[in-house]
Chains A and B, each alone.
Chain A
Amino acid sequence: MGAVNAGQLEKGSTSTVEAPIKEKETRSEEELDVPWQVVVHNDPVNLMTYVTMVFQRVFGYPREKAERHMLEVHQKGRSILWSGVREPAEFYVQQLHGYLLLATLEKVV
């Protein structure tokens, strides 16, 4: 989410040098310190074997642990796959969406 794509860079290039605009800080220290969790939600379409493989690939979990989380998603509707600081949590959610899993980023309450 913090990435800048090529299109943005191209649009931003001009022939004159302009004074840099100081952007407003969007994330406070307090916000960054709050633990976040990566939650995967149940989806009856995704195959159990597929979900297990995705957990192994994205989080590097051994098969048994990946299956435990998969079963928790299947039986309880959701499972917390990871918790920690925001940036890696966002990255994990992005990867999970790339595999088309229903995943969200949630603040730990």
Chain B
Amino acid sequence: MVISCSRPWRKSFDMEICRQDDALQISDLDPFLAELLRQIPESTNPDGAPAAEARLFSRPSAEKKICAEWKSYVEPELRRLFRSATETVTDDLTQLNGNEKSLSNCILHIPIAHADAWLNTLNQARLVIAAKYKFSDEELSDHDRSPIGSRRDLGLFQVNFYGFLQEFILREISG
């Protein structure tokens, strides 16, 4: 399947994504999309954005006592879970650490065994970016928005691009 992430006023950014045995394979990567892939791990970092931190670790109840217990016992487990997923994705992305000029020939293999880690990490990134930029429901459902004229527009593009990857992974693991 060839995917085109278009920026209509300039050009389309393409990549090819397909299933290869026990892995998902992303090839023919445009440098722009490769850079967005490389930014996945750092995009999960909610530091300096209380809204993003609050979204990743949302309140489990309206009752203070439950929330206090949760913060002590459950939240550390969640932090470990999210960190572990992000580390798996970071390791997979080392395949993209090469010469910029050779990126078009670069292939990213995502083992199916890492699919859950990718789904989790992509979701972390999407939630953190959306919380940082406070995207409205309308913005989030406008998938044809263009052009990318600001950091905020780029953030929305990232949310949509990472969402597309999630959709593809979901489709492959659900058969």
Contact = CB atoms under 8 A, between A and B. Distances in A.
B8 interface: no
Q: Is the interface of B mostly helix, strand, loop or mixed?
A: helix
Given A45-B127, A98-B81, A105 B166 contact: no
A40 to B, nearest CB: 11
Contacts of B174: 53
A26 B166 CA distance: 42
A32 interface: no
Q: Which of the four size classes fits the interface of chain B? A: 20 to 34
A103 to B, nearest CB: 7
Contacts of A43: 127
A26 B57 CA distance: 24
Contacts of A98: 78, 81, 120
A64 B108 CA distance: 34
B167 A104 contact: no
Q: Which of the four size classes fits the interface of chain A? A: 20 to 34
B113 interface: no
Contact of A46 (B59, B65, B123, B141): B123
A2 B65 CA distance: 13
Given A1-B69, A105-B60, A44 B141 contact: yes
Interface string A29-71: 0000000000000011111011001000000000000000000
Interface string A19-30: 000000010000
Given A94-B78, A97-B74, 9 more contacts: A45-B140, A46-B123, A47-B167, A47-B170, A49-B167, A50-B166, A98-B81, A102-B58, A103-B58
22 contacts: A5-B73, A26-B65, A44-B130, A44-B137, A44-B140, A44-B141, A45-B140, A47-B166, A50-B166, A90-B60, A93-B60, A94-B60, A94-B74, A94-B77, A97-B58, A97-B74, A99-B120, A103-B58, A104-B59, A104-B60, A104-B61, A106-B62
